[in-house]
């Protein structure tokens, strides 16, 4: 049952497919809308894990027909044929391949990258790569604000067919990590606990789950 329960998640998108926009992703949405008129035909979405930058990148790729490339084995020539997307570049990349990709970007129609850190902090073993990385335009995606996190929680609950008490989502917003991943995980745990105990999804159930989590973390304290 565990695997079946995890199939549906689409961070920052509701069951209806609507994007949850807010101040935290406003800069990124604006810069993505400027495509293909990006400086040097490149853009890097930078933000913490779970902020929704991958969902934004996937939406852009679907809209533009961009080809997804592996940062460890990028086909630099692919950018000549059309837009390309590379995700989590700061987690590992081929320096020489990235150097050629950025150099060829002006000949193509767009290179979008995602990362948790700014390009200026990425390692640069290839000569002249440092200057290329420092010059890459960046759009920041902040951790979800209250508006986005509330919308994400409500949509995840709706996608699970859960009709929570009206005060549940606002209660959770104040008590979970500010990330789409945390919102997904707490709804998953609520869904499982509700099904297992045949209980309605309420603040009381949420309180039990969050207290259990805190107690489990205490077990690892020195």
Backbone dihedral angles phi then psi of residue 44, each to the nearest 5 degrees: -120, 120
pLDDT score for 2: 37
DSSP-assigned letters across all residues of the chain: -HHHHTTT--TTB-TT--B---GGGHHHHHHHHTTT--GGGEEEEE--TTSSHHHHHHHHHHHHTPEE--TTS--GGGGGTS-EEE-SGGG---HHHHHHHHHHGGGSS-EEEEESS-GGGS---STTHHHHHHHS-EEE-PPP-HHHHHHHHHHHHHHTT----TTHHHHHHTTS-SSHHHHHHHHHHHHHHHHHHT----HHHHHHHHHHHHHHHHTT--
Mean per-residue pLDDT of the chain: 86
Q: Which two tokens stand for residue 178?
A: 């500010």
Q: Give per-residue pLDDT as tens, 17-61.
A: 456 788 899 999 999 999 999 999 999 999 998 888 998 999 999
pTM score, two decimals? Answer: 0.76
176 or 220, which is more confident: 176
Backbone φ and ψ for 85, nearest 5 degrees, come out as: -130, 130
Query: Residue 165: its pLDDT value, please?
Result: 84
How confident is the model at residue 217, as a pLDDT? 37
CA dihedral (67, 72, 77, 79) positive or negative: positive
């Amino acid at each position: 049952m565990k695997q079946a329960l995890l199939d549906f998640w689409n961070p920052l998108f509701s069951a209806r497919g609507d994007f949850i926009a807010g101040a935290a992703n406003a800069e990124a949405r604006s810069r993505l809308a400027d495509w293909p008129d990006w400086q040097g035909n490149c853009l890097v979405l930078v933000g913490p894990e779970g902020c929704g930058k991958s969902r934004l990148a996937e939406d852009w790729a679907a809209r533009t027909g961009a080809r997804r490339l592996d940062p460890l084995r990028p086909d630099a020539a692919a950018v000549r044929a059309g837009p390309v997307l590379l995700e989590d570049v700061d987690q590992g990349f081929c320096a020489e391949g990235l150097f050629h990709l950025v150099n060829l970007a002006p000949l193509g129609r767009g290179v979008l990258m995602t990362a948790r850190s700014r390009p200026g902090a990425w390692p640069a073993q290839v000569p002249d790569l440092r200057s290329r990385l420092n010059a890459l335009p960046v759009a920041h995606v902040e951790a979800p604000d209250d508006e986005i996190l509330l919308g994400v929680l409500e949509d995840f609950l709706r996608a699970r067919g859960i009709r929570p008490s009206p005060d549940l989502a606002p209660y959770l917003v104040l008590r979970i990590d500010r990330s789409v991943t945390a919102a997904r995980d707490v709804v998953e745990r609520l869904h499982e606990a509700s099904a297992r105990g045949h209980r309605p999804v309420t603040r009381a159930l949420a309180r039990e789950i969050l207290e259990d989590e805190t107690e489990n973390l205490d077990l690892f304290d020195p």
